[in-house]
Amino acid sequence: MVFQAIIKSIATGNAEQSLILTKRALAQGFSAESVLEKGLIAGMDRVAEKFREQRVMVPEVLMASRAMHAGLSLIEPLLTDVERKSNGKIVMGTVAGDLHDIGLSLVKMLIMATGLEVIYLGVDVTPKKFASIVKKEKPNILMMSALLTTTMTVMKDVIDELESLGIRKNLIIIVGGAPIDPGFAKRIGADYYFEDAFEVKAFLEDNITKLIPKKPLNK
């Protein structure tokens, strides 16, 4: 079965096979939605389970996510209907002074499959840039990452900047990274903290309709 082969290609981090098999599944007449859910996402779910059981390490997860992304590149253009585009918008980036993006890149790759629009700002993003993009794009969610103890306080600077401009209200702020914990997230005024990318993905899949109300079609 082609779906099982796709799952295996994701689990083994084989991006080339993932691309070939995704193309084959579409050629066989399977819908983009079924290939996404029963192949690509199912493959990443298998990797997520192994990661939680500490049977795979971060580099293997990244290889798997890139394999999923290879297949997703064929699927995404077929999923651009009105409903998916209205699923919501996320702005994400690593805070100023921090050049680490492995964790956030993984988050981006995983949540792109949920139908959310992702605006990825990369690394070393200043509070003013975060605020400027939030003001311009009006996202539903802002995600910030920090991997250094020396940069984690910048998250509070970002939130302060948003509040000073009056654009903090109705914005869901999610933070994460090695030095971050729930207590720190609460102290700086963030809404949610997650330990890893799979937690973020599971949370969004379970709660997206509660967090982001559907907009009327005539707006």
The CATH class for the domain spanning 2-80 reads: mainly alpha
pLDDT per residue rounded down to tens, the chain (219 residues): 899 999 999 999 999 999 999 999 999 999 988 998 899 988 988 887 888 788 888 788 889 988 988 998 898 788 654 344 456 899 999 999 998 877 787 788 778 767 788 999 999 999 999 999 999 999 999 999 998 999 999 999 999 999 999 999 989 999 999 899 999 999 999 999 998 888 888 898 888 777 776 554 333
Contact 6, 18 (CB under 8 A): yes
**Residue 178, pLDDT score:** 86
Structural domain boundaries in the chain: 2-80, 85-211
Residues ≥6 apart with Cβ < 8 Å to 117:
85, 87, 88, 89, 90
**Residue 83, pLDDT score:** 45
Using the structure block, give the residue that is written with the tokens 């798997």.
Answer: 64
CATH code for the domain defined by 85-211: 3.40.50.280
Which pairing describes strands 172-176 and 141-145: parallel, antiparallel, or unpaired? Answer: parallel
Question: Vertex 93, ends 77 and 152: CA angle to 5°?
Answer: 155
pTM above 0.75, yes or no: no
